[in-house]
Amino acid sequence: MSTFDGICVTDCERCPALVDSRTQIVNGVGPEDADILFIGEGPGANEDAQGEPFVGRSGTVLTDALIDAGVLRDEVRITNCVRCRPPENRDPQTEELSNCREYLDGEIQTVDPELIVTLGKVPSQHVLGRSVAVTKEAGSFVDVRIGEQTYPLLISVHPAATLYDRSQRKTFTETITKAVEIAQSTTSEQTGNGQSRLGEF
Ligand code: URA
């Protein structure tokens, strides 16, 4: 049984291993009409305990980069590919990712963001449905089709990468700054036919 209202899951038992390892389901946070939607991999221990994505060390890196770029964490939407903590922080398995895909796609369509930012390899590959060399492709824009809509997507390294590899810090902060600039400019500079100007960047 599962209950999903288009943005939040309140009941789900699709993944037996995750049902066993989770304390709670961790839904996305932030405005339901946010301009930017960040997508991470899945909850870790802190997220599982607090019921909110990106509240541990990775969350601090993301929150700080957003502030440096001129927006507050509360102004963006942040979610994950899977909403339950995998055991021992392992990567979510293919079946778990696919079990949770309906919720992710539903959230994307409800929020209908100007820009999607995938944080790290797992979410980039999952959302794009192809293999991604994330360090090489970080900072690149690609289009992704979700339902009837095509969204611009910006590939980013995971914020945790900046904690174990200092050289990733610049790549990460530059990507987040780019995301904020683009989302702000597409919101304020819609053309007469409603098309965004993302193609100019
Ligand atoms: N890493 C993720 O990918 N998601 C979180 O929510 C926290 C850490």
How far is the centre of ligand 1, averaged over its atoms, from the C-alpha of 148 (Å)? 28
Q: Would the pLDDT of 165 be above 70?
A: yes
Phi and psi at 142, nearest 5°, equal: -140, 160
197 — pLDDT class (breaks 50, 70, 90): very low
- Quick one: average pLDDT of 105-133? 98
Which residue out of 23, 29, 52, 54 has the highest number of ligand 1 atoms within 8 Å of its CB and is therefore the one to mutate?
A: 54
> Which segment of 98-102, 109-113, 166-170, 192-196 scores lowest on mean pLDDT?
192-196
How far is the centre of ligand 1, averaged over its atoms, from the C-alpha of 54 (Å)? 5
How far is the centre of ligand 1, averaged over its atoms, from the C-alpha of 194 (Å)? 33
- Among the listed residues 109, 137, 117, 92, the one whose alpha carbon sits nearest the alpha carbon of residue 181: 117
Helix (H, G, I), strand (E, B) or coil at 10: strand
Domain ranges, ordered by start, for the chain: 3-191
Q: Mean pLDDT over all residues of the chain?
A: 93
Ligand 1 atom having least distance to the Cα of 119 = 3
> Given this model, what pLDDT does residue 189 score?
66
- Please, are residues 133 and 120 in contact by the beta-carbon 8 Å criterion? no
**Architecture, CATH, for domain 3-191:** 3-Layer(aba) Sandwich (3.40)
Q: Would the pLDDT of 60 be above 90?
A: yes
By CB neighbour count within 10 A (0-12 exposed, 13-18 middle, 19+ buried), where does 3 fall? exposed
Token pair, residue 36, equals 């930017």
